[in-house]
Chain A
Amino acid sequence: MLVDNSQSDAFVEFERVQKSYDGEKLVVKDLNLSMPKGEFLTMLGPSGSGKTTCLMMLAGFETATHGDIRLDGTSINNIPPYKRGIGMVFQNYALFPHMTVAENLSFPLEVRKVGKSAREQKIKHALEMVEMHEFGARRPAQLSGGQQQRIALARALVFEPKLVLMDEPLGALDKQLREKMQFEITRLAHNLGITVVYVTHDQTEALTMSDRVAVFDDGYIQQIAPPDILYEEPGNSFVAQFIGENNTLEGVIKEIRDDYATVQLDNSELIDCKPVNVSRVGERTRVSIRPERVEYNKSRLHDNAQTIKADVLEVIYMGDIFRTRLRVAGNDEFIIKTRNAPDQDRLQSGLQIEIGWLADDCRALDA
């Protein structure tokens, strides 16, 4: 586990939290997480990895079977959801269909006994914040998906919660709208300085929006790190595979020096890489290299680059780039990406080429 920066000013804390629905299988196994105030944290993972369960436990709709969840220093295990003061945006928006937009926004203020004029002020402000001030009198059914999304966001923010949870809020939107909303949500979160826990299974969303991303799998947090670290320095092969596109070469550790290890690939070729979570010689490993770090153009190859032979199997034209599938050291799924630029040689299937990369860009991970 890479969670060790347990600050004393932690705003949300999970400590040794476990959750089981049926008493036989743990959905969340030993979850430890700590996030400071104002952070935008994304829980990312495949379905069934336990991320939504974590969110529901934080919101109070599920109780942890074991462990402690703390909000601003106080344990909230036994506090009912309506007393937690956590704003939440649901996957299907959950806008109350029998109320107008304004009434939806008014609801959290009314139950908090906010006076009428203050209420109107806050509703107006919240609607302006999401640029929906003209839609107060509409019913949710009269709004488009994107507009409903904005209203759901406004409703979760209107009572000024310290923490806002979002459960795959953009899942139902089309790609363009989703990208626009990603930007707006991040902007709002930063402007308002609120703490956000965001659940998604879309890695692009996680990378573009978050301060930190927690990658969930099998009930554990596999890695929690800022997006760039997560992408460039994946802590294990699950993270490397799950985040972005990744090339994997399998082999055995031959030698470990200070900063580098030598790996003998399955076709007996030797390459140098950075050892990440391998510790002893003879151990099996998966070597991970990002496609964009692989170069085939000799003139551009770095002096320190190590090279390896490759067969071009397929060239896919994708507009701005070419996505080329190679066979490297017995792996038929080795992908490289090259810009569609005038100075690039075009590859053709059937060619035999030499590719190369820096040892720093190549990470030896668990098998």
Chain B
Amino acid sequence: MNSTCGPVLAADGTPLKKSLARALRMQKLRALMLVAPLMLFIVITFLAPIADMLFRSVENAIVADTLPETIQKLSEWDPTRDQAPEEAVFETLYIDVFFAAEEKKHTRLGTRLNYELTGISSLFRKSGRRIGRFPTDIYAEQFISQDSRLSDPMFWVRMMNDPRIVRSLPLTARTWTRWTHYLRGEGDDPSMEDVENVFYAALFFDLRNSADGISEVLNNIDISNFESIDLGAEFEAIDEDWVNPSVWRTIYTYSPKYTSGYFLNAVDLQKGLDGPEVRPENQRIYLLLFQRTLVMSFVITVSCILLGYPVAWLLANLSTRTANLLLILVLLPFWTSLLVRTSAWKVMLQQQGVINDTLVWLGLIDDANRLIMINNQFGTIVAMTHILLPFMILPLYSVMQTIPPSYVHAAKSLGATNWTAFWRVYFPQTVPGIGAGSILVFILSIGYYITPEIVGGTTGTFISNRIAYHISSSLNWGLAAALGTILLAAVLILYWAYDKIIGMDNMKLGG
């Protein structure tokens, strides 16, 4: 009978909470099943791609995957000294580029690094083409002349299955493993393929670097009198950029699997040796674009408030029938294509367009001095204000509808003039509507793409146009993803700020 001690019990003796949870479980399950199709759809088609895209903004595995040996060796290099790396690095580069060319990954790597340093793309393309012509066959000849079994791929396969060999010839073993992986991927058998020069070179490097210079299995081989080649010079012969320290510095800087480089790039910085540094003036663009996007979105939002507020007020104070009719006019633009509306503005605003023609005909402007109203910021602001206006009017209208006229009546009866009654009593109650409309319009406009693309020219484009450029033209998806992530973060910060200042539960989007 002591109800204060222990949990409250249901009639059958189970704790009431448990019994309640059981009763609600079925209900919850049913609710979950109702939303499940949509949730799955959104997760698969929307959230997963977005997550993947965001991941690309830091992902940088291609360098480490394509040049694993080089990266490892390069870690001993001192990038601060203005000098190309030593021969050992070029030896590993030879192996890596050989595989990259086989797997046809060298052009992709070149493209990736080209975002950071112009010219690397062609460097890798050229090297991939000419790597097969390196005179490394002399290693093959010298090894085979000492032990003819080395020309037999079956012998290599057996040799590389011997753990002692693998231990004593690490580079060769790693290179062979890469080879077998590659061949298996192609559906080939390593024991059937010719042994490439690269393995003889790797074998040579291993034997040369090992302490005694002699392997347990290949003890019949003596490389002390081997003729060797200068791979550094060979690479230099392809392109002298290979001995340019800045190329190596770029590879060195972008060798980790994850990089902040895209994000730094997105805010006009670059990865230097001692952390982020400002890009040269002629390469700065994104901060300007972000700033322009924010300022113009703000101007568009304010224009929407100024134009939409009176309309919403009128709608809220007319009889339901007239208001519905006018509401259809407000919603009418939604039934026309966005492209059509934007193109219509192009027709209206261009120099030979309707407005300019009218102004010239009225004699307000000279025919020679027609106003430039399109392909600049003005055009973007005008067209986007028009397109986004319904998103301001609707939340405002729905808020104003809920404000009974008795508030203004009360204010007036208390002695307030029309203006005071509006400003001190009516307007504060519409703030949630202004907030909801503003946040809608602002967020829609900072991500807007089509309209600025068509009417924006060069000065009226937004950051989204740049993102689209990187997605579809320059194919620098990492940078596009970084820009997109920053945009997303800006929107989330705005939401957060709105929630702090006005409160999300104050926002009224409808009803």
Contact = CB atoms under 8 A, between A and B. Distances in A.
A91 interface: yes
Interface string A85-104: 11110111011111000000
Contact of B415 (A91, A92, A94, A159): A159
Interface in B388-427: 404, 406-407, 409-418, 420-421, 424-425
A86 B410 CA distance: 10
A82 B412 contact: yes
Contacts of A94: 404, 406-407, 409-410
A45 interface: no
Given A94-B404, A94-B406, A96-B407, A88 B413 contact: yes
Nearest to A59: B413
Given A82-B416, A107-B414, A111-B415, A59 B409 contact: yes
A235 interface: no
Contact of B414 (A92, A97, A155): A155
Contacts of B413: 59-60, 81-82, 84, 86-88, 156, 165
Contacts of B420: 111
Nearest to B403: A97
A90 B416 CA distance: 16
Nearest to A90: B406
A108 interface: yes
Contacts of A112: 415
A156 B411 CA distance: 10
A84 B417 CA distance: 11
Given A98-B429, A111-B420, A61 B411 contact: no
Contact of A88 (B407, B409, B424): B409
B428 interface: yes
Contacts of A108: 414-416
A202 to B, nearest CB: 20
Contact of B406 (A80, A92, A155, A159): A92
B417 A82 contact: yes
B409 A90 contact: yes
A90 B415 contact: no
A284 to B, nearest CB: 44
Interface hub of A92, A94, A156 (most chain B Cβ within 10 A): A94
Interface string B414-447: 1111101100110011000000000000000000
A194 to B, nearest CB: 15
Interface in B22-49: none
Contacts of B409: 59, 61, 81, 88, 90, 94
Contacts of B404: 92, 94
A109 to B, nearest CB: 9
A85 B416 CA distance: 10
Nearest to B428: A98
Interface string A56-92: 0001110000000000000000001111111110111
Contacts of B412: 60-61, 80-82
Interface hub of B409, B417, B421 (most chain A Cβ within 10 A): B409
B399 to A, nearest CB: 12
Nearest to B420: A111
Interface in A283-316: none
A237 to B, nearest CB: 35
Contacts of A156: 413-414
A101 to B, nearest CB: 14
Contacts of A107: 411, 414, 416, 424-425
Nearest to A96: B425
B410 A88 contact: yes
Contacts of A155: 414
A80 B416 CA distance: 10
Nearest to B414: A108
Nearest to A86: B413
Contact of A111 (B406, B414, B428, B429): B414
Interface in A129-161: 155-156, 159
Interface hub of A88, A92, A111 (most chain B Cβ within 10 A): A111
Given A96-B425, A97-B429, A111 B416 contact: yes
Nearest to A91: B406
B416 to A, nearest CB: 5
Nearest to A152: B410
A118 to B, nearest CB: 15
B69 to A, nearest CB: 70
B289 to A, nearest CB: 39
Contacts of B417: 82, 111
Contacts of B410: 88, 90, 94-96
A155 to B, nearest CB: 7
Nearest to B409: A61
Nearest to A56: B409
A91 B406 CA distance: 9
A90 B404 CA distance: 11
Interface hub of A61, A83, A87 (most chain B Cβ within 10 A): A61
A165 to B, nearest CB: 8
Interface hub of B410, B411, B424 (most chain A Cβ within 10 A): B410
A155 B424 CA distance: 16
Nearest to B413: A88
A80 B411 CA distance: 12
Given A60-B413, A61-B409, 8 more contacts: A59-B409, A60-B412, A61-B412, A80-B412, A82-B421, A87-B413, A92-B404, A155-B414
17 contacts: A60-B412, A61-B409, A80-B412, A82-B412, A82-B415, A82-B416, A82-B418, A82-B421, A88-B410, A91-B406, A92-B406, A96-B407, A96-B410, A98-B429, A108-B416, A111-B416, A111-B420
8 tightest CB-CB pairs across the interface, nearest first?
A108-B414, A94-B410, A88-B413, A94-B406, A81-B412, A98-B428, A111-B415, A90-B406
